[in-house]
C-alpha cells in the first residue's frame, strides 16, 4: 500500500491558465465576458457623453409633466392634463388589451384550422391549407393596413344611419352599429350599481377630496378604479361553479359506490345560473344601446376601427402559425392512439377531443408560448393604424413632443421586456405543471 504515493503536488503557475485544459475554458470565458462588458460600457458611455454634449442628458423628469395630448381609447381616466407617465400607462393597457384579445382568438382559430387541415375531407383540408399559406406568407403589417382600409372605405358613415329612410341600419334589434369608425355594441350597466373603488388614491390626492369626504367619486381619482358590481358577479359565479364541482364529486362517489349516477346537469346549471341572475336583477342590470347623437353614436361600447383591424389581423395571422403548431402536435401522437380509441368504439370527434388533443397539447404548448410573445410584440405595429398602444403614446407622441428619444425608447424596451418575461414565466410555470412526469 505504501508504495502508492500521491503524485507530487504541482504548484499553480500562471501559464496553466492557458495551457492546462482544466483552466483554459474558464480563462476564455472570463476574457470574453470582460470584453463584452467593456464593449457595453463603451457604448453606454459614448451615448451618455454624446447626449450630454448635444445638451440632452438622460433625465426622466418629463414623465411627470402634463402630456398635452388626448388619447381616444382609454381604459382608465385620462385627459390632456394628465402626465406623460399616465399616458404611458394608458398605452400599456391598450397593448395588453389587444394582446389578450388577439391571443384568445388566435388560439381558437389556430386549433380549428389545425384540426381541419388534417381532415379526411379533401376540400376542407385544402381550404385550411390555403388559409395557412395565404396568411402566414404575407407580412402582418399588410394585413393590418388592409383590414383598416376595408373598414374605413366600405362601412357606412354614422350619418348614413340618420333620417327617415337611412341607407344604413343597425343590427340585432337596433343594438349593434357597424360604422366606418368602428363597431358600437351594447354596454352592460346597472341601475343600482355598487359603484367603484379607487386604487392608489395617494397618486392624486387632490382629485379624491370629495370622495374622501363622503361625496361623489371623480373619474380622475386614483391610479384606476375597480367596479364592485363586476367583482360581486364574478364572486357569485365562482361560488356557483364551486358548488357545482362539489355536486359532481358527490355524484362520482355515489356512482362508485352504487354504480348509478344521479343526474347532475340540472342542479349544476341551477346553482351556477340562478344566483348570478339574482345578483344581476338586484343590481338592476340592463344593456345600454348605442344611439346616434350629433356626429357619432353615443353610449354603448365603441370598438374602434384601429382596435378591430389590429385585433383581427393579428389573430388571423398568428392563428395561421398556431394552426401549423397544432397540426404538428397532433401528428406527433402515434397512430396507435387513435386506432386504439376507435377500437374502444369512440367516434371521430370524441377521439380528437378526449384522446388526441389532450396528449398533443403537451407538444403544442411550448411553441404556442412563443407565438403569444410574437403576437404581443407585433401589436406594436398598431402605429400603422393609429391604435394608441404604448408604442403610440410613450414611443410615439410623448417621444415626439418632448424630444426624449433615448429615454422613451429605453422605457419602451423595458415595458415590452417585462410583458414578455411575465407572459413566458406564467406560461412556463403552467407548462411545467402539465408536462409528462416520468416516474
Partner 1 sequence: MKKSVFLGALTIAGLAATASMASTLDDVKARGKLNCGVSTGLVGFAAPDANGRWNGFDVAVCRAVAAAVLGDSDAVNFVPTTGKTRFTALASGEVDMLARNTTWTFTRDVDLKFEFVGVNYYDGQGFMVPKSLGVSSAKELDGATVCIQTGTTTELNLADFFRSNNMSYEPVPIETNAEAQQQFLAGACDTLTTDASGLAATRAAFENPDDFVVLPEIISKEPLGPLVRHGDNQWGDIVRWVLNGLISAEELGITSANVDELAKGTNNPEINRMLGTEGNLGEMLGLDKDWLIRAIKVNGNYGEIFEANIGEKTPLGLSRGLNAQWTEGGLIYSPPFR
Instruction: Please report, as ranges, the residues that interact with partner 1 according to CB under 8 A.
Output: 38, 41-42, 45-46, 49-50, 53-56, 68-72, 79-81, 152-153, 157, 159, 180-181, 293-296, 298, 305, 383-384, 386, 388, 392, 396-397, 400-403, 405
| Strand-pair category, 296-298 with 291-293 | antiparallel
The residue among 33 and 418 lying less far from partner 1, judged by its C-beta, is: 33
Q: What minimum distance in Å lies between the beta carbon of 67 and partner 1?
A: 9
Q: What minimum distance in Å lies between the beta carbon of 280 and partner 1?
A: 31
Which is nearest to 313 in space by CA: 246, 382, 364? 382
- Alpha-helix residue ranges (DSSP H) falling in 259-356: 265-283, 305-331, 335-343, 348-350
* C-alpha cell of residue 200: 392608489
| Longest alpha-carbon distance in the chain | 114
Q: What minimum distance in Å lies between the beta carbon of 348 and partner 1?
A: 47
The residue among 43 and 254 lying less far from partner 1, judged by its C-beta, is: 43
Nearest-angstrom CA–CA distance, 331 and 268: 37
| 3 state SS for 111-170 | HHHHHHHCCCCHHHHHHHHHHHHHHHCCCHHHHHHHHHHHHHHHCCCHHHHCCCCCCCCC
The residue among 1 and 14 lying less far from partner 1, judged by its C-beta, is: 14
- Cβ 325 vs Cβ 114: under 8 Å: yes
The residue among 95 and 305 lying less far from partner 1, judged by its C-beta, is: 305
The residue among 223 and 383 lying less far from partner 1, judged by its C-beta, is: 383
The residue among 197 and 384 lying less far from partner 1, judged by its C-beta, is: 384
Nearest-angstrom CA–CA distance, 64 and 86: 9
Counts for the chain of helices (H) and strands (E), in that order: 15, 9
* C-alpha cell of residue 308: 378591430
Which residues share a beta bridge with 196?
227
State phi, psi for 70 to the nearest 5 degrees.
-100, 155
- Cβ 124 vs Cβ 116: under 8 Å: yes
Q: What minimum distance in Å lies between the beta carbon of 427 and partner 1?
A: 33
Q: What minimum distance in Å lies between the beta carbon of 156 and partner 1?
A: 9
Q: What minimum distance in Å lies between the beta carbon of 411 and partner 1?
A: 17
The residue among 182 and 329 lying less far from partner 1, judged by its C-beta, is: 182
Q: What minimum distance in Å lies between the beta carbon of 397 and partner 1?
A: 6
Q: What minimum distance in Å lies between the beta carbon of 302 and partner 1?
A: 8
Q: What one-character DSSP code corresponds to residue 214? A: T
The residue among 38 and 200 lying less far from partner 1, judged by its C-beta, is: 38
- Cβ 95 vs Cβ 74: under 8 Å: no
Q: What minimum distance in Å lies between the beta carbon of 254 and partner 1?
A: 59
Buried b (16+ CB within 10 A) or exposed e, 157-183: ebeebeeeeeebebeeeeeebbbbbbb
Amino acid at each position: 500500500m505504501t508504495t502508492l504515493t500521491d503524485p507530487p503536488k504541482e504548484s499553480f503557475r500562471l501559464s496553466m491558465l492557458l495551457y492546462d485544459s482544466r483552466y483554459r475554458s474558464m480563462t476564455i470565458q472570463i476574457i470574453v465576458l470582460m470584453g463584452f462588458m467593456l464593449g457595453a460600457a463603451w457604448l453606454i458611455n459614448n451615448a451618455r457623453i454624446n447626449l450630454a454634449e448635444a445638451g440632452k442628458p438622460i433625465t426622466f423628469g418629463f414623465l411627470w409633466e402634463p402630456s398635452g395630448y388626448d388619447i381616444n381609447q382609454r381604459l382608465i381616466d385620462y385627459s390632456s392634463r394628465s402626465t406623460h407617465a399616465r399616458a404611458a400607462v394608458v398605452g400599456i393597457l391598450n397593448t395588453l388589451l389587444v394582446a389578450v384579445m388577439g391571443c384568445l382568438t388566435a388560439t381558437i382559430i389556430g386549433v380549428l384550422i389545425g384540426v381541419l387541415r388534417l381532415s379526411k375531407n379533401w376540400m376542407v383540408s385544402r381550404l385550411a391549407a390555403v388559409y395557412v399559406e395565404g396568411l402566414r406568407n404575407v407580412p402582418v403589417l399588410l394585413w393590418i393596413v388592409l383590414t383598416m382600409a376595408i373598414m374605413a372605405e366600405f362601412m357606412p358613415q354614422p350619418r348614413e344611419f340618420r333620417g327617415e329612410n337611412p341607407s344604413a341600419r343597425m343590427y340585432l334589434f337596433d343594438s349593434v352599429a357597424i360604422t366606418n369608425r368602428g363597431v358600437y355594441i351594447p354596454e352592460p350597466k346597472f341601475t343600482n350599481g355598487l359603484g367603484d373603488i379607487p386604487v392608489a388614491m395617494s397618486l392624486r390626492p387632490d382629485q379624491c377630496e370629495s370622495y374622501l369626504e363622503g361625496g361623489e367619486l371623480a373619474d380622475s381619482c386614483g391610479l384606476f378604479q375597480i367596479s364592485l358590481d363586476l367583482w360581486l358577479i364574478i364572486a357569485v359565479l365562482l361560488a356557483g361553479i364551486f358548488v357545482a364541482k362539489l355536486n359532481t364529486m358527490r355524484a362520482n362517489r355515489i356512482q362508485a359506490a352504487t354504480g348509478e349516477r344521479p343526474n347532475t346537469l340540472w342542479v349544476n346549471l341551477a346553482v351556477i345560473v340562478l344566483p348570478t341572475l339574482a345578483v344581476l336583477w338586484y343590481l338592476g342590470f340592463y344593456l345600454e344601446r348605442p344611439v346616434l347623437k350629433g356626429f357619432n353614436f353615443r353610449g354603448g361600447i365603441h370598438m374602434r376601427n384601429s382596435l378591430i383591424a389590429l385585433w383581427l389581423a393579428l389573430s388571423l395571422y398568428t392563428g395561421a402559425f398556431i394552426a401549423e403548431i397544432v397540426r404538428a402536435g397532433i401528428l406527433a401522437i402515434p397512430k396507435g392512439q387513435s386506432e386504439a380509441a376507435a377500437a374502444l368504439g369512440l367516434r371521430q370527434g370524441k377521439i380528437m377531443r378526449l384522446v388526441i388533443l389532450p396528449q398533443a397539447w403537451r407538444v403544442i404548448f411550448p411553441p404556442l408560448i412563443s407565438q403569444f410573445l410574437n403576437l404581443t410584440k407585433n401589436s406594436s405595429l398598431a402605429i400603422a393604424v393609429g391604435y394608441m398602444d404604448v408604442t403610440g403614446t410613450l414611443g410615439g407622441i410623448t417621444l415626439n413632443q418632448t424630444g426624449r428619444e433615448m429615454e422613451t425608447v429605453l422605457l419602451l424596451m423595458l415595458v415590452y421586456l417585462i410583458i414578455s418575461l411575465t407572459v413566458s414565466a406564467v406560461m412556463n410555470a403552467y407548462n411545467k405543471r402539465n408536462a409528462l412526469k416520468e416516474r
